[in-house]
Amino acid sequence: MAKRTLTRREFIGTVVAGAGFIFAGQAAFAHPSLNLRKTGAPFKIITLGKSGIKTTLLGMGTGFNGGNRTSAITRTGNAESIIRYAFDKGIKFFDCADTYGTHPYAMKALKDIPREKYTFCSKIWMTRGGIPEPERPDADIVVDRFRKELNTDYLDIVQIHCMTGATWTDEHKKQMDILENLKSKGIIRAHGVSVHSLPALQTAAESPWVDVIHVRINPFGASMDSKNPDDVVPVIKKLHDSGKGVIGMKLLGNGSFSNDTEKVDQSIRYVLALGTVDMVIVGFEKSEQIDDYVTRIENASMPAGK
């Protein structure tokens, strides 16, 4: 099948139709001839909903092609140096998970940096597979291990990882309550979920427990909870409007169009123009990829011809 690339008119129309509305300030960002954000936009400090957590617009994902405590970045042999390069470049958000196996690398990369200078997010795997052990200890035991692996007294965000069913809030109520208790003690600052289905996403939008959520979003429906972004965008708006922190992931369709420069740039513009995604994460395996996406986001923020 021939690849599908949005024309400029189709792109603007998709943003308008998919979002259902655009804030006045966000409409300018959707238009390539107008400037909404200045150079340095990737490192703009945002707040994740009502959680109070402040971090950079661009975050680093560490779980591309991840599972069983390995990921693309751990297999490079340079994970520690790449994470440190991202921090030195200006990225302050690092997205980890038990399934990725990146806690030790993140800890070593940032060991000499004051803890308040960066944001750690990690995720607990609660279903079958995904990690080597068959046991699934309670969330407080898992979070205690996370803190040791990351050498930190607290985690900024802990999420339930990769929920797919509509009833996940019923099935994992005990663990949700444990995470709520950990938040009350200051052991974690916020809790939430990452989802991989439209029903799970819709359930998250209805749950007052969710502080921060990862959502899969791009204008092409690649590796998303629906192949039609119009199904997903209104739910993201509902999440945002209810005060939940929204982290956009799969901007590159799980890498399916990462080599298509035009589609990558269209996706970045589309997601940031929605006005309902607080920040985005991209999985990096090389330092030059970090430089590339910093430039792409800056270019998406500048007037045409600059």
Q: Is residue 306 situated within a structural domain? A: no
Residue 300: the pLDDT is 85
Q: Is residue 1 situated within a structural domain? A: no
How many distinct structural domains can be found in the chain?
1
Q: Is residue 3 situated within a structural domain? A: no
The segments of the chain whose pLDDT lies below 50 read 1-39, 305-306
Residue 180: the pLDDT is 98
Its domain, for residue 183, covers: 8-300
Q: Is residue 305 situated within a structural domain? A: no
Q: Is residue 48 situated within a structural domain? A: yes
Sign of the dihedral defined by the CA atoms of residues 62, 65, 70, 75, in that order: negative
- The model's pTM is 0.87
Residue 64: the pLDDT is 83
CATH at residue 92: 3.20.20.100
Residue 271: the pLDDT is 96
Residue-wise pLDDT for 69-115, tens only, equals 999 899 999 999 999 999 999 999 999 999 999 999 999 999 999 99
Residue 186: the pLDDT is 98
Q: Is residue 216 situated within a structural domain? A: yes
Contacts of 60 (CB under 8 A, 6+ apart): 83, 86, 91, 93, 94, 95, 281, 282, 283, 284, 290
Q: Is residue 128 situated within a structural domain? A: yes
